Chains A and B, each alone.
Chain A
Amino acid sequence: MPQHASPKRRMELEAPDRFRPVVDHELCKKCKKCVSECSYRALEFVDGAVKPIGGCVACGRCLSVCPAQCIEIRQIQSMFPPHANFNERVRRGIMSQATTGGVLLTSCGTDIPYPVMFDELLLDAAQVTNPAIDPLREVVETATFVGGRKGRLEVKENGHLHIEKEPGPMVAMDMPIMIGHISLGSVSYNAQKALFAAAKELNILAGSGEGGLHKDFNVFSQNLVSEVASGRFGVTGDYLKRTAAVEIKIGQGAKPGHGGHLPGEKVSALISQTRMIPLGTDALSPYPHHDIYSIEDLQQLISVVKEATEYKVPIGVKIAAVHNVGAIASGIVRAGADFITIDGFRGGTGSTPRIIRDHVGLPIEVAISVVDQRLTKEGLRNRVTVFAGGSIRSSADMIKAIALGADAVMVCTAAMVAMGCRVCQQCHRGVCSWGIATQREELVSRLDPEVAAARVVRLFRSWNEELKEILGAMGIDSVESLVGNRDRLRYFGPNSKIAEIMGVKHVGEGWG
């Protein structure tokens, strides 16, 4: 019989904490609010003072609620002997796996400092030969339409021009932004309510995530894209028909080749009802859809969903950006998808194996360009709407993603940060102190859906204003004239091969 290691012995071998809350005891009012607000139990009140007891994740909740502003979170300086190859991150991973013996779980997008091509692209502006446009004085349009297109319109003429019938379903958004699929389960009722309310207020789309749709959220359905994922959680005919669009989720940038992961800790009564699964069980979606083992199977599912929704809403397919993304996207368009969502490897998640999050997929910047070029080459680009996500952090990323070839972007993490998220990468633990990625009622109630929705609305309105400013500066008065307009980008980075693959000229190169 194996000997169990003593607790003391285990503590010595485990990875040390990275953060520590430090309390200024002179200023502390001893109200203990920090102690009660810390959902990670990293603080306690002993001997008349607040003390850290380990486990801090730097979520920042304590210092945000401290009335005396006397808490500071410190990053504990590395006590690992310096080694550039076996760096601290590597050694911590080994220590954790030696302790747990399992696949390491994490959340949010990868935190490895891979090069970010968005930061290596510069935008153009109008000078002399074409006038810049001031969006405060002139019209600059950002309306974006989601749906399939026929590539050609038949116009009749008998005294007056007209068309016989509208070519197909199309959904209008006021700006080229979609709030991505953040499921009820991965986030709380209040968080999802805030995101949906923001989408409605902004007249944009938001994804339902794969957790089905709570009945209270039917009021938002005209701004929602329902998701058919491999687990088919909550998918009913009614669910599909009610929303503005339907998306078949094949993959997600944070975990290509994997299905959804919802730890049992987060499967509360509410989640159990909406997803139609037993209370407290892990909800692990199958890796593939078990009725889609090939492109022709996908074509059938697209047809089935189109039939089920009576051809009244656009049907899309979401894939993770993988190495052959151009050819896959082409196949998806040919299989009948009205829109495609490409999710880059930096995309966020509520729970994923770290090995996949950190090491699988393609950066979205490259994936967008490759897909846009491939679809253009095959004469298909004007048949489909392309969404791009996977770490769109700012309006600058959004604008560059559009110029690289996306019709619109899909944003999640930035919306979460607007609501309070600090990107501490602990979503999978289900004890989010901000009431976002948790199902514990006492934590969920910390998030005021109205306040959170208003913050998301302000964030995206400001992005849209910045988009107009940039369009105007480029002498462009409608966002569709930026989609795939790579001529207005220049690459300013160390690897001109990347620029070549993205179809972007190097800085210093002119037009002709």
Chain B
Amino acid sequence: MGGCGIAGCINMAGGRISGDTIGKMLETMGERENGLGAGYACYGLFPEHRDDYCLQFFFDHEGAKSEVEELLKSLGSIAKDEKVYSHKVKSMRPPFPIIWRYFFNPSQKLEWRGRSDLSNDDLVVQLAMHINADVPGALCVSSGKDMAVFKGNGYSYEISKLFDLGRYSGKMWLSHSRFPTNSPAWWGGAHPISILDWSVCHNGEVTSYGVNRKFVEMAGYRCSVLTDTEVVAYTWDLLVRKHELPIQAAAFAMAPWYHQDIKRLDPESARLATWLRLTYKEALLNGPFSIIVGRREPEVTLIALADRKKLRPLLCGRSVDGKTAYVASEECAVRVVEPSAETWTPNAGSPMMAQAGKGILRVGTEHPFEGVG
């Protein structure tokens, strides 16, 4: 994605964070964006619909909306649907999509194109990818439970104003401001890119995109947004949800140690490291990146990871009271909301992890395969 700003925060003690906080964090890093896309993801914001899949869409026209509604109704029930609140921002230029939200539950014993072996999660993934690839004028922006993505084509302050982020509060926020260089600026291309309960904000350019794309396509994912970030999101879903890799192992597959350094590990870890590299060599994300990844299952979790050469910035922070964890491209993003926060930088290729209800599970300087929690 070229040069971009990323920021995230999570309350680990059961409290909630207002949308104004993440807005401030992101907007402070104004140097990192050029008005061609920004977005936010919030987790834990729909307590009354926490067990429904929240599907949010951009529709280019009413026809696309009715087509998607028909599809949803044929596959399950809609508990509630509503327009995603937005109000006019004078500086933003049209076109503006119709932004709509559905709280959706797939029917029991549902078949998807002749397949009856899919879990509800699998079905939602298939559904979102099908809509994005095959329904003209419709784009599923987020599809997880108790989470939502607010994004668009504009500056970070325009997008936070557009959606009036202050009206939301949640356990965790992720955000991204864009300076696109390798794919066009459009509403769907803004970050976070989300599938199921995963969302990814990404600063960087994956030089191995063609390989990573093959990796997820082999597992049945369909790439429709055509950005490297989309593939990163699918890779997390595939490695952690489908292949059940612990998060540290998945992070290692994406940003592995060099073979020459693996030799220095204890024999058991070296064996794991080597086989992670061999088995998942197509998952290696080459080139510069720092990413913030959000997840809701089994508990709201924040993951921050930089590439193995650390060619993009990534900084972590913890509030003085120890309740809130922060990650950002730049320290100013943390200082602006928590001037005396403790800050540190994780190692190249080593994930920082924080979880609601648990605290910081990894600071990002540990042994790659140390257990958590």
Contact = CB atoms under 8 A, between A and B. Distances in A.
Most chain-B CB neighbours within 10 Å: which of A129, A474, A486? A129
Nearest to B280: A153
A261 interface: no
A149 B207 contact: no
B361 to A, nearest CB: 13
B271 interface: yes
B227 to A, nearest CB: 8
B67 interface: no
Contacts of A462: none
B136 interface: no
Nearest to A142: B259
A141 B258 contact: yes
Nearest to B261: A139
Interface in A450-491: 474-478, 480-488
Contact of B217 (A158, A376, A488): A376
B214 A484 contact: yes
Contacts of A141: 258-259
B146 to A, nearest CB: 26
B370 interface: yes
Place the interface of chain A in its size category: 35 or more
Interface stretch (A17-25, A162-170, A231-239): A162-170
A40 interface: no
A12 to B, nearest CB: 60
A145 B280 CA distance: 12
Contacts of A482: 208, 211
Contact of A153 (B219, B226, B245): B245
A290 interface: no
B12 to A, nearest CB: 21
B215 A382 contact: yes
Contact of B309 (A138, A153, A485): A138
Nearest to B204: A130
B210 A484 contact: yes
Which one of A143, A376, A481, A511 has the greatest number of beta carbons of chain B within 10 Å?
A: A481
B119 interface: no
B1 to A, nearest CB: 9
B84 interface: no
B287 A130 contact: yes
Given A153-B275, A163-B275, A480 B207 contact: no
B371 A157 contact: yes
Given A130-B287, A512-B226, A476 B208 contact: yes
A325 to B, nearest CB: 18
Contact of A486 (B210, B243, B276): B210
Contacts of A381: 214, 218, 282
A22 to B, nearest CB: 53
A151 interface: yes
Nearest to A407: B281
B167 to A, nearest CB: 34
B111 to A, nearest CB: 21
A138 B309 CA distance: 9
B311 interface: yes
Given A128-B181, A163-B275, A512-B184, A477 B286 contact: yes
A299 B77 CA distance: 49
Contacts of A153: 243, 245, 249, 275-276, 279-280
B282 A129 contact: no
Nearest to B278: A145
B137 interface: no
A511 B271 CA distance: 37
18 contacts: A128-B181, A130-B204, A130-B205, A131-B311, A139-B260, A151-B279, A153-B276, A155-B276, A157-B246, A162-B369, A376-B217, A382-B218, A480-B281, A485-B211, A487-B210, A488-B207, A511-B182, A511-B183
Closest 8 CB pairs of A and B: A481-B208, A487-B210, A481-B286, A485-B210, A161-B369, A512-B183, A480-B281, A129-B181
Interface of B: 2-3, 181-184, 204-205, 207-211, 214-215, 217-220, 226-227, 243-246, 248-249, 258-260, 268-269, 271-272, 275-276, 278-282, 284, 286-288, 308-309, 311, 369-371
